[in-house]
A and B are shown apart, each in its own frame.
Chain A
Amino acid sequence: MRRKKEPHLAFPSLMITLSSIPSAVAASLVIHVRPSTPSIFAPASTPADEIYRLAIFVLAICMGIFVIVGGLLIYATFKFRLRGKDDGREPAQIYGSNQVELAWTVIPVLIVVVLFLTTARVIHSVEDARAPAGAIEVTVVAHQWWWEFRYPQYGVVAVNELHVPVSNPGDSTPTYLTLLSADVDHSFWVPQLAGKTDIIPNRVNHTWIDPQSIGVYLGQCAMYCGTQHANMLLRVYVESRADFARWIHQQRATAAADPPGEDPAVAAGRRVFETTACVNCHTIRGTIADGRFGPDLTHLMSRETLGAGVVPNTPENLRRWVKNPDAIKPGCDMPAMNLSPQQLTDLISYLETLR
């Protein structure tokens, strides 16, 4: 029986590589999470927090299985390798063992039962939760590459930046979201607040958040929805109750159609806006503009970002955007309107009054 002996230089390096993997995985769990990183392991709201605990439990069990089974594999590879001094005889042929097979069937079944029961409990507590009396209701309408948030309780429509009050333990004001789509599938995801819920045309979905600390939470559309899926970003502002009330009050105001003593540039800008196709796609409450295809611009300047979070809302960016949205968000659904520089300047001064 000829058997080629293999050099074993390779073997120690195998061990090193293999043992580096668990450490890489472990590193991912403990890496320092920066506030701007929307990590699922930095929960700040009830559903996300429950998921986080479940995740740790599942991870721990899987780690355990990994260490045992992976350890056995490495041990077997090392222990039963063909050694230099070998008698050249075949090892004992063992065809199987029913006891052993039974053991490694039953133990995994038990593990699965435990995992399943734990998981089912969390599914129930997140999915079947009922809105309490103090809950804020928001209807989210996802559009190809931007978000619309309607607050039926307050008669407010916001865009791309969701504002909600912080929810204190004992006196909770969670936010319940109804998810609708205007076109294709999207998915609502703010990792620190809740898991994803898909947004599907011709179907009504629900989710909820119960944020416990003030701050800005980043998220984005998580279901591929076409060209600009990557830039369908989402910001959630969790505010104190007073701040939230102030915000609602401000958002309720309409833009004045023709305020007395208006800056002539602003008036000219408004004329540009009203005589261009802008009005077909955008609404500015209090004016003739009532288009529904694009975002509501009534309180454009109250937002920190433009184009669903791609750029900060600065005057230069606004100008660049209106001049040619494609340069900022290639493939987006707003056309360049070919305005002259003067028209553009006037238009921007008008848009800047929309607070």
Chain B
Amino acid sequence: MVSQSLPQAGAFGEHAQSAPWLERAHEWVVTVDHKRIGLMYITYSLLMLVVGGVEATLMRIQLAVPDAHFVSPQVFNVLFTMHGTTMIFFVTMPILFGFANYLVPLMIGARDMAFPRLNAFSFWMMAFGGLLLYFSFVGGSGLYGAGSAPDVGWWAYAPLTAKAFSRGHSTDYWTLALLVSGIGSIGTAINLVATILCMRCRGMTLGKMPLLPWLNLVMAGMVLAGISPLTAAQLMLCIDRYLGGHFFDTQAGGSAVIWMHFFWIFGHPEVYILVIPAFAFASEIIPVFSRKAIFGYPIMVAASVAIAFISFSVWAHHMFAVGMPSYGNAFFVLTSMLVGVPTGIKIFNWLGTMWGGKIIFATPMLFCIGFVFQFLIGGLTGIMVAAAPFDWQLTDSYFVVAHFHYIIVGAILFTIFAAFYYWYPKITGRMMSETLGKWHFWLFLIGFHLTFDFMHIPGILGMPRRIYTYLPGRGWGIWNMIVTIGVFFQIVAVAIFVVNLIRSYYRGEPASNDPWDAWTLEWSASSPPPAYNFAVLPEVKSRRPLWDLKHPEDPDWKYE
């Protein structure tokens, strides 16, 4: 192997290290470098994760015992609205965009995104949207009416959002925040598609592109077709609230149901927008720690595309109880269950990748195994709620809350943690502590299962969601108590993770360029990569260019 070292000016910049903080901050604010923008997305989301987590914790304390008086109903309603909105739009979406921003150009051998300034613009739109949402705590009904943040739930069903039922401005902040951050998301998606289609290095045909860029391409396409309906619906809501329109005004003949359709035409693809990048992380990490090529690469790509397409025809499975005619319900049952087929294919291919491998239980891999396992369960509860009559019982109950947290926390958050442990050495040039990582994993696993396994039960016992309290004697108390206890394990775990992130930055073991012995292009850049990523743009012959380099006797391109 020939060694050729690259200049070591990192994403943090040598010059930046010594400059005064104001100048450094200024550099970050005006940056158009995809790596810095990616890191800003990630940092922002982590802060928001803590905010959303604190909101969840407050809710769980209130619900731990029947008839509690920890928070008032008004506050509780604000809490779940803000928790849901924050977690979906200002934690999961941006953190995934952040990783996409950081990794995609590196993995396709490019020096930056296609439109660096659009990239910065999109980030700031999203960031501003989040601030707008939280500003409602102060400005929700004028300064002296503080504390009136939105309380309409994250779907904001009409006519609860109409002026008559939502006075003041809290709903306005909600709708504007999503409108603004939605524009940011569309910008990022345009950028990702253009980058992936137009900036690949020599030799990287679509069939030789690693799965992470591939799945992010699918995700970006879904954002374009999926977030836009939300943007349209928010525009209509603004027209109703500011200009006196009647789109969702039931008193003037408007329809409450059409808002539901518009919201879920966005809302369902949205959940796959969140999960597909999670699949992407798993598809990179599982092969490396099983020491095998991904099993069934073309099928993995095809399955992801199939999921994307089918997921645009299943939205009304969130509306089984609104009184659709029976053939309508049956149609959405069929499409929803069909999504299980390509999704299953993905699970089986990950299994196929591990099969016959040599699995190394480093922290990223632990999180990925947890992901596959929990995603399996979350997917199967999805099939249960997709059986419409069963869903007439389960919808709007804690069973649904458990279903989606199982996927969002148990699958998506797990892969995000895996991604942190896996790419941290690339980003900072230092390894994260494995000991703290193991603590983080086990505590989070225990906390997760205590919270979200037992959350299914009150749903089955008839407990609706979004209730701030419940009467004793219904048999829900004990389960809610267990659920709440689990949250405290999660808090400790997340705190350990944060400590690990910070500590390792200063004291972590220095990382080589390729600490995991991996195969994709980002590991050929230095750690951290220089601002221009690659001194010489690489050229690839297969999906695993570094494998080819390390095994000249048995390169991949002979087989693909």
Contacts and interface: CB of A to CB of B under 8 A. Distances in A.
Contacts of A20: 449
Contact of B323 (A122, A128, A205): A205
A18 B362 CA distance: 18
Interface string B355-382: 1111111100010010011001100110
Contacts of A127: 325-326, 329
Contacts of B257: 200, 203
A17 B406 CA distance: 16
Contact of B344 (A3, A104, A220): A104
Interface in B386-414: 387-397
Interface in A1-58: 1-4, 6, 8, 10-11, 13-14, 17-18, 20-21, 24-25, 28-29, 31, 33-34, 36-41, 48, 50-51, 54-55, 58
A62 B361 contact: no
A325 interface: no
A197 B77 CA distance: 22
Nearest to B287: A93
B390 A58 contact: yes
Contacts of A81: 358-359, 361
Given A73-B369, A104-B348, A185-B160, A97 B466 contact: no
In this complex, which of B77, B253, B380 has the most chain A Cβ atoms within 10 angstroms of its Cβ?
B380
A218 B391 CA distance: 19
Contact of A120 (B333, B348, B556): B333
Contact of B376 (A55, A69, A196): A69
Nearest to A6: B361
B351 A185 contact: no
B439 to A, nearest CB: 11
Interface centre among A81, A105, A224 (most CB of B within 10 A): A224
A139 to B, nearest CB: 15
Nearest to A309: B471
Contacts of B291: 82, 90-91
A222 B349 CA distance: 39
| Most chain A C-beta atoms within 10 Å of own C-beta, residue among B77, B157, B392 | B392
Interface stretch (A107-115, A244-252, A283-291): A107-115
Given A101-B296, A112-B338, A62 B442 contact: no
A196 B464 CA distance: 11
Interface stretch (B17-25, B208-216, B263-271, B452-460): B452-460
A123 interface: yes
B457 A31 contact: yes
B75 to A, nearest CB: 10
A184 B159 contact: yes
A200 B256 contact: yes
B384 A59 contact: yes
Given A38-B462, A127-B329, A198-B322, A95 B362 contact: no
9 closest pairs, A vs B, by CB?
Answer: A195-B392, A38-B462, A230-B467, A37-B475, A96-B296, A205-B323, A201-B250, A202-B250, A127-B326
Interface of A: 1-4, 6, 8, 10-11, 13-14, 17-18, 20-21, 24-25, 28-29, 31, 33-34, 36-41, 48, 50-51, 54-55, 58-59, 62, 65-66, 69-70, 72-73, 76-77, 80-82, 86, 90-97, 100-101, 104-105, 108-109, 112, 115-116, 119-120, 122-124, 126-128, 183-185, 187, 189, 191, 194-198, 200-203, 205-206, 218-231, 233, 309-310, 330-331
30 contacts: A6-B361, A6-B362, A17-B449, A25-B456, A29-B460, A36-B475, A38-B474, A40-B461, A59-B384, A62-B383, A65-B380, A66-B377, A93-B556, A95-B296, A96-B298, A96-B299, A108-B341, A112-B334, A112-B340, A116-B337, A120-B333, A127-B325, A184-B157, A185-B256, A197-B392, A200-B257, A205-B323, A220-B467, A221-B464, A222-B397
